[in-house]
Amino acid sequence: MKEYEMDQKQEWAVEAEDICFTYEGNDVPALDHFSLRIARGSRVAFMGGNGSGKSTFFLCLNGIRRPDKGRIMIDGKPFSYTRKGLLDVRRKTGIVFQDPDDQLFSASVYEDMSFGVLNLGMGEAQARQAVEHTAEELGLTALLDRPVHALSGGQKKLAAIADILVMGPEIVILDEPAASLDQMHTDLVRKVIAELSDKGITVLTATHDMDYAYEWADVIVVMKDGKVLRRGTPREVCTDRKLLEQAHLKPPVVLEMYESLKKSGIISAGEEPPGSVEELKKILTGRNDVRKGISEMERTPDAEENN
Ligand SMILES: Nc1ncnc2c1ncn2[C@@H]1O[C@H](COP(=O)(O)OP(=O)(O)OP(=O)(O)O)[C@@H](O)[C@H]1O
Ligand SMILES: [Mg+2]
């Protein structure tokens, strides 16, 4: 169920209430009275300029950073910063760091991936099965015995993602998952992320890719200066030009195309903005005049050939 469809009585996967956090030695807060609620099972994209506080919020969600003020609740339970409390939180929420070097620590990819599941109490044989399955999903099978320091940047990122996914957390936090991945691995990771959502897992990502956020997310959270500038559906956020300018964000290409097609009269003003490239294609192929235009274009080469 989407966040905006929920009523007050329902439980939230994540609640952050009035969080303030300043890194030691800094004058400016990284999170400044930051409040947000995230519905269980939702897909949430965090967007905003460099230094707007996305990664800091994620680190607070995993208990790596402790807010100076305010509170965080996971599944309705306030954070307890005891050893047991933090273990509980880390069992439920898995975070893939922005920089994989902050995450990988074992000798080999296999050891790194199996460390977490063995720690959760899984037996050797079951752990091996889980690691091999996740490695295959992410195209990492051939790299399982490779030392982590001998991986490329993109391979490290994939291994870091695999480290978290193998543990099967209820809330998956991915800090710029596609950073340094090639197109094939970006697609692979996005497919795996989509499957997480299908299983009801709550997925939070920080991304600078507006086209992806627009098509993938249920909710986009726009951050600026450690605050939530706006939280809304991709359509609400991305059609608000003023807001995008304020956050130095550009609208997704599909909306830019839609706007110019509307201006030139190809799409009628009443047409709802498309939620994806596929939806835009449907709008266009559904238009008689466009279809006529396309069939005329298709006829032209024959006509030329006959001349
Ligand atoms: N380890 C740190 N020590 C001191 N200040 C930090 C540290 N990490 C982040 N900051 C500061 O906290 C603020 C928020 O940074 P954060 O990393 O949360 O931003 P972000 O939105 O994730 O940015 P990016 O898009 O660049 O990843 C910035 O002003 C940054 O300089
Ligand atoms: Mg960051």
Residue nearest to atom 27 of ligand 1 (CA): 50
Q: Which of 143, 157, 25 is nearest to 103 (CA)?
A: 157
pLDDT at 6 over 70: no
What's the CA-to-centroid distance between 99 and ligand 2, angstroms? 9
pLDDT of residue 33: 97
Estimate the crossing angle of helix 124-137 against helix 153-165, to 10 degrees: 130
Question: Which of the listed residues 56, 68, 207 should we mutate to test ligand 1's pocket, taking the one with most ligand atoms within 8 A of CB?
Answer: 56
Q: DSSP 3-state assignment of 34? A: strand
Number of the ligand closest to the Cα of 175: 2
Residue 52, ligand 1, Cβ within 6 A: yes
What is the average pLDDT across 104-121?
91
Residue 155, ligand 1, Cβ within 6 A: no
Residue 221, ligand 1, Cβ within 6 A: no
Range in 8-12, 27-31, 43-47 the model is least confident about: 8-12
pLDDT at 133 over 70: yes
pLDDT of residue 268: 81
Residue 176 CA: which ligand 1 atom is closest? 27
Distance in angstroms (rounded) separating the CA atoms of residues 184 and 179: 13
Count of CB atoms situated within 10 Å of the CB of 198: 9
Distance in angstroms (rounded) separating the CA atoms of residues 149 and 151: 6
pLDDT of residue 49: 93
Number of the ligand closest to the Cα of 57: 1
* pTM greater than 0.85: yes
Q: Token digits for 173?
A: 């936090």
Distance in angstroms (rounded) separating the CA atoms of residues 246 and 191: 32
| DSSP annotation string for 273-301 | PPSSHHHHHHHHHT-HHHHHHHHHHHHHH
| 273 and 279 Cβ atoms separated by less than 8 Å | no
What's the CA-to-centroid distance between 23 and ligand 1, angstroms? 9
| 158 and 138 Cβ atoms separated by less than 8 Å | yes
Of the CA atoms within 13 Å of residue 23, those in its CB half-sphere come to 10
CA distances in angstroms from 140 to 31, 81, 127, 183, 194, listed in the order given: 36, 35, 16, 16, 19
pLDDT tens-digit readout, 51-110: 999 999 999 999 999 999 999 999 999 989 999 999 889 889 999 999 999 989 888 999
Q: Token digits for 274?
A: 């498309």
Virtual CA dihedral for 16, 20, 22, 28, nearest 10 degrees?
A: 120
Q: Which of 196, 231, 202, 247 is nearest to 50 (CA)?
A: 247
Q: Which of 223, 244, 259, 260 is nearest to 36 (CA)?
A: 223
Which residue matches tokens 């466009």?
Answer: 290
pLDDT at 307 over 50: no
Question: Which of the listed residues 20, 21, 47, 54 should we mutate to test ligand 1's pocket, taking the one with most ligand atoms within 8 A of CB?
Answer: 54
pLDDT at 3 over 70: no
pLDDT tens-digit readout, 210-244: 999 999 999 999 999 999 999 999 999 999 999 99
All structural domains of the chain, each given as residue ranges with its CATH number in brackets, are 3-249 (3.40.50.300), 258-306 (no CATH)
What is the average pLDDT across 159-183?
93
What's the CA-to-centroid distance between 29 and ligand 1, angstroms? 10
Mean pLDDT of the chain, nearest integer? 89
Distance in angstroms (rounded) separating the CA atoms of residues 233 and 213: 10
Question: Which of the listed residues 24, 26, 61 should we mutate to test ligand 1's pocket, taking the one with most ligand atoms within 8 A of CB?
Answer: 26
pLDDT of residue 87: 87
Q: Which of 91, 86, 140 is nearest to 112 (CA)?
A: 140
Residue nearest to atom 19 of ligand 1 (CA): 51
